[in-house]
Amino acid sequence: MSFKKLIAWQKAYELTLDIYRTTKKFPKSNGLALRTQIQKAALSIPANIAEGYERQHRKEYLQFLCIARGSLGELETYILLAKDLSYINEKEYDRINDLRSEVGRLLRGLVKSLS
């Protein structure tokens, strides 16, 4: 099996694509730093799921899943900030946050199944 078959990875990848598409419209001058941080946090989620999956030991896999969960929390802060700064609207925020919450539930389930 490949990490690409994991629903948690698929949803995290979908979230990352959504983030990249949404943050394209951030203001060039004062929105660049936040855009970069949001993209890094989002990208870290599926990347850590994949890297952990490819590790040889369950303990390492769990560690990378925990890192992915940390990035999910970081992303929550950034998207809230983007909404409050009016870089994204309420509808975009809700869509992204709903997907972020779904990825969180999937990650918790994956961690639980491996523990």
Indicate the class that CATH gives domain 3-114: mainly alpha
**pLDDT tens for residues 35-73?**
999 999 999 999 999 999 999 899 999 999 999 999 999
**pLDDT tens for residues 12-34?**
999 999 999 999 999 888 778 99
| pLDDT value, residue 95 | 97
CA atoms of 95 and 19, how far apart (whole Å): 10
CA atoms of 69 and 89, how far apart (whole Å): 25
